[in-house]
Structure 1
Amino acid sequence: MKFYNREKELDQLRKIRLRSATAAQMTVVIGRRRIGKTSLLKKDMEGQLAIYLFVAKKSEPLLCQEFVAAVQSTLSVPVFGKISRLKDFFAWVLELSKALNFTLILDEFQEFKLINPAIFSDIQNLWDANKGESRLNLIFCGSMYSMMKDIFENSKEPLFARATAKLIIKPFEMQVLKQILGDANPAYQNEDLLAFFALTGGVAKYVENFISAGAWTLETMLEEIFSLNSLFLDEGKNTLIEEFGRDYTTYFSVLSLIANSKTSRPEIESILETSVGPFLEKLENDFGLIRKIRPILAKPSGRIVKYEIADNFLSFWFRFIFTNYSAVEIGNFEFLKAQVRRDYPTFSGKMLERYFMETFKESLAYSELGSYWERGNLNKIDLVALNNLEKKALLAEIKVNPSKISLSELKSKSSNLAAKLQGFDLEYRGLSLENM
């Protein structure tokens, strides 16, 4: 698949690279696995004096041997003596950068924590001592969100406040997904676009897999997901077990319940029969996997709170694959596809709400976006978009099938919210598959 989008990120990396010609730069690039971080960095390297290093789980001397060979090959520089410690490697690179302006990328940087955790203090000391004379464009890239955040944002860690820039790589936006699907299948239908969005969430690797396999409809995507040796079947485990460590079973249970519409803390705790407050807090703040949702206009301290999984594919994985993992293990793919077909209308309805929320966000026409409901999950309004400058408000009912939308019912259940929006020009709208 050709390289799509990322113009903003490439422009930011270009500006950082230009700054490094006169002052050393340390950039942190973070994003979930499969999001396209490595492809982005390699695209930025094209035509530049740049070295890409992957931090594999190897011994320190072996890594140093590989790293030194890569630097020598690219820069055509000698090395005096044998380098078998990472500390000495970074000291050598920083010395080279005093005469040469180049980019050094270290991918999966967080793995150093397992190989030699002292290296973070070594890098801090070397950076502080040499950055004044250095012209190094140093990029640390990682997919373990919690570990990368801890390394660079924990005030007790040596590299705290050392980075000069941070890029968080996010999924493709809606317009890019439409472009990709349109290039692959110009005759695609809106239900194909919804399935493409719902099952990939704009994650580059999943998008690439479906496009390469010619899977452009729900049925062909399901065939690709539920097949022997499929990338997707173990993806949740592969992506998250290392993040969660020994508590992964509890985290997985919480995520599975949220994916299956148990979205409040009391609901989750009543089923698991244990307090999950610390787990929810970490899933939201440390791992960035869930988000807390309050009714629009509610106070930040309000007690009416729901949770949702932020990642579309992980929502699908926990809803359909993890919940039925026994069927995965015995290879009963027909059963799994039948489960998806049965429950897809409900799942796709939630994804359609998310689709329009993202589309309205990307329009930059509103100052606040959210949904609304009252205690007991009553009077739910799927999308509320406010423009506080122009005093305009859009209240929308979202259904896959437009025949199920009732604007009179929407107005009726919006009465309490409308009272809170006095002075706003209110617009009521129905949004369906037809409006994608």
Structure 2
Amino acid sequence: MLGGIPYYLNLCDPEFTLRENIMDLVLTMGAPLSDEPNNLLQAELRDVTRYATILRSVADGCTDSGTIISRVRELKDSSALAPYVQKLAELRLIRIVRSLDATERERDRRYYLDDPFLAFWYRFYLPNVSPLAAGHWDEVWRHKIDPYMEDHMGGMFEWICRDYARRYINEVLPTAAQEVGQIWAASFDVDVVGRLLNGAAFAGECKWWSRPVGLNVLEHLRETVAHASYERDAAERYYLLFSRSGFTPELKRKARRDPNVRLIGPAELLGPPPAR
């Protein structure tokens, strides 16, 4: 929710619930982080309004240049958008992502907010600034934030899983990753893919579900990867399933029998980092 910014984390009270911390830090009048994104933009940029509109568009799910341009009337085409996006990327406010199976000439890019707190603020605080200013903090939480937190965390969970693969995949696979990313096309979207230093490939699905992940998710992942061009000729391929709520007994049996299937749950994601 707050990313890894020490200042933000130091403001959190570990004895408070998530709701209580968000209320105290973001939603209530005078909360220390209530205007943090605006302060950041004003300190770093000119023409803050245009940059803020781009950030809000991305937060609203506009992940390609065409949909962003439709929200920013002053920008007529992708060449006009490019310098703004590049500046936001330099500030680590936006991630520019290319499908790992795309060629260098392909222009298919996706844009995501590169800061978890920014993503939360633009999705939940800014659209509700008027009722929050009127003091309706509990009602905003109850009607506009709490019912949508599961969906919001689904996207964040994919981010966490890719970061785990970059840093710690050697805890569950033979060696560290050489590259980690995503692949997509009109008919498929794979949350996590990559190549290990030994040349093996891996692909993974991330499920922020309240129920255990089953064998059908593994089968769907295998079918999807079979139609993708990324690392098609790899001598070995691993399949990773990331789950918030564990795995069905059937899938666990499959993973015990198949050395190329790995199941990664909260214990692995939240475990202590390996000694260096």
Is residue 2:31 matched to residue 1:230? yes
Contact 2:213 2:243 in 1 (8 A): no
- Equivalent in the alignment of 1:249: 49
Once the two structures are TM-superposed, the CA of residue 420 in structure 1 deviates from its matched residue by 4.1
Residue correspondences, number? 231
1:102-146 CA-partner distances (Å, limit 9, x unpaired):
xxxxxxxxxxxxxxxxxxxxxxxxxxxxxxxxxxxxxxxxxxxxx
- Structure 1 stretches lacking a partner, 5+ long: 1-198
Secondary structure in 2 aligned to 1:417?
coil
The residue type equivalent to 1:271 in the other structure is R
- Equivalent in the alignment of 2:194: 385
Secondary structure in 1 aligned to 2:56?
helix
1:182-208 CA-partner distances (Å, limit 9, x unpaired):
xxxxxxxxxxxxxxxxx1101111111
Once the two structures are TM-superposed, the CA of residue 300 in structure 1 deviates from its matched residue by 3.3
Is residue 2:188 matched to residue 1:368? no
Secondary structure in 1 aligned to 2:188?
strand
Out of 240, 244, 252, the position equivalent to 1:429 is 240
Secondary structure in 1 aligned to 2:191?
strand
1:84-105 CA-partner distances (Å, limit 9, x unpaired):
xxxxxxxxxxxxxxxxxxxxxx
CA distance in 2 between counterparts of 1:219 and 1:367 reads 38
**1:114-125, aligned counterparts within 5 Å?**
none
**1:1-400, aligned counterparts within 5 Å?**
199-211=1-13, 214-215=15-16, 217-224=17-24, 225-245=26-46, 247-275=47-75, 276-285=81-90, 287-338=91-142, 339-363=144-168, 365-374=176-185, 376=186, 378-387=187-196, 389-400=197-208
Once the two structures are TM-superposed, the CA of residue 340 in structure 1 deviates from its matched residue by 1.6
CA distance in 2 between counterparts of 1:279 and 1:380 reads 27
CA distance in 2 between counterparts of 1:381 and 1:303 reads 19
Secondary structure in 2 aligned to 1:367?
strand
- Structure 2 stretches lacking a partner, 5+ long: 76-80, 171-175, 246-264, 267-276
The verdict on how the C-alpha distance between 1:297 and 1:351 changes in structure 2, with shifts beyond 3 A counting, is: same
CA distance in 2 between counterparts of 1:419 and 1:262 reads 25
Contact 1:324 1:336 in 2 (8 A): yes
1:222-241 CA-partner distances (Å, limit 9, x unpaired):
33232232112111112222
Once the two structures are TM-superposed, the CA of residue 301 in structure 1 deviates from its matched residue by 3.4
Once the two structures are TM-superposed, the CA of residue 398 in structure 1 deviates from its matched residue by 0.3
Contact 2:100 2:230 in 1 (8 A): no
CA distance in 2 between counterparts of 1:306 and 1:271 reads 16
1:284-307 CA-partner distances (Å, limit 9, x unpaired):
23x332121011132233211101
Contact 1:222 1:337 in 2 (8 A): no
The TM-score normalised by the length of structure 1 is 0.50
Once the two structures are TM-superposed, the CA of residue 418 in structure 1 deviates from its matched residue by 5.6
The residue type equivalent to 1:332 in the other structure is H
The TM-score normalised by the length of structure 2 is 0.77
Secondary structure in 2 aligned to 1:382?
strand
Following TM superposition, where does structure 1 have runs of at least 4 consecutive aligned residues deviating by more than 6 angstroms?
A: none
The verdict on how the C-alpha distance between 1:418 and 1:424 changes in structure 2, with shifts beyond 3 A counting, is: farther
CA distance in 2 between counterparts of 1:335 and 1:343 reads 14
| Identical pairs, percent | 24
Once the two structures are TM-superposed, the CA of residue 351 in structure 1 deviates from its matched residue by 0.8
